[in-house]
Structure 1
Amino acid sequence: MANVDKFNAKKNATLEILSHDLAGPFIMLQQLAEYMGEQVGSLRNENLNEMIRIMQTTCKESVDLIRDFVDQEFLDSANVELKLERVDMVERMQQMMESYKQSEAVVAKNFTLLAPQEPVYVTLDVNKFMQVLNNLVSNALKFTPDGGHITLTIAQGPSTVRFTVADDGIGIPQAQQAGLFDRFTKARRPGLRGEKTTGLGMSIIKTIVGLHRGRIWFESEENKGSTFYIDLPLNMASQSNGQQA
């Protein structure tokens, strides 16, 4: 066991170094491209502006891909531990949704939270799990047209709590649904406004849910929207030490 921990620690340190060394040049090139764009803007050369824009976009996508890959490797590592605490998820989701509702006019979407009046306490790593919910909402934003609706729901059962993120957007084609949670899934596609994706996001989401001894699934129909469901145990502290089985 000590050798496994030592190997994982070495692997994680190597990933950190590689992430920094690989992403660093792309970040520098992106900054240089931004500076060049400012300097040549007055020339009104559309071809030149387009080439600089491509440089900026390519650098940003490369950095995102590197960081997403490293994030996935960290989550897959055997020594990933959750920082468990007992949290009122109704309160946390209200705070999150308040931020989204303040941006309704900007993003041209309508946000709704359906939650009980009383608190719903769940033992979890709140930072990691809020990342899951935010990523699901972010994906809903990408694939929901202007004027669409995004609804979050939290409902408590006897021993579990269910979270749902639903939208009335363009939905997921049937042919892409089976591999949606795979790493580097072929289901990746640009958003309605051309937002890029690496295809790693859903894999990371599933890994975090799995670390919480939960399960995630979805229902979707083209042109009618998608709904993602997450079931978590109310108290996983007594079930595990926070490590993935």
Structure 2
Amino acid sequence: MSDAPRIVEVDRLDCRLVAHHWAYAEAAAEEMDRHWAERVAHNPTLYDGPVLLACRAEVVEDAGHRTLKLDAFETRFSYFLGWRELGWRDTSVFNCFAMPAVRSSDGCYLLGEMGPGHSVAGYRYFPGGTPDPSDVIEGGVVDLEGSLVRELLEETGLHATEGVAAPGWSVIFDGQRIACLKRLDWPAPASAIREQVRAHIAGEPKPELSDAHMLAPGRHADPRLPPFMTAFLAHAAAWA
């Protein structure tokens, strides 16, 4: 697998909840439980709730339309964290999530800086998170767009309906991460968006973010940005 993130533009996402036995988590359970105990001792705010990972990810083309098809299964956050932080040893599963790329009227993108209680404190991402069972709707469909809307509101106070969604998705394959990004064109300049989000953070009793930032598209050499973020910002320069 190439180390460089790969970007694929798709028309839609099709994610379904399935029953899946995660053999790796069972085999590595003792090691991951020890890892979780160490992480919680360092950061007691971490919570071992259920999350959804993907055991299948495939881009399918039909009649000129591309669909990202995903099979998702439920596991514990502690197992997800151990799998991620112990080196992604099992490459049969993926961390697939949806994020809004909120673009200001003057062409900058909104990023949130993860707060001290987060498992990736200090890193900068678009608003979002790993989906969980609350994102499963009728028929076992995992509503990734609904997850995007929820996370945007919870983290920033912004309502997705205030922006204009671009058609389709930019899907970034970055090792075991699959980031599904949808551009939202916002009718406000970068300074106003940042001020609004900062006010939301200041008003939250337990904010997930510690700060908000606005970045212009292009190449950014910042260790606080994960590779899929730098890949998207470089890719987005073509839309400027």
Fold shared per TM-score above 0.5: no
More strand by share: 2
Using CA pairs below 8 Å that are at least 6 residues apart, which structure has the higher relative contact order?
A: 2
TM-score by length of 1: 0.27
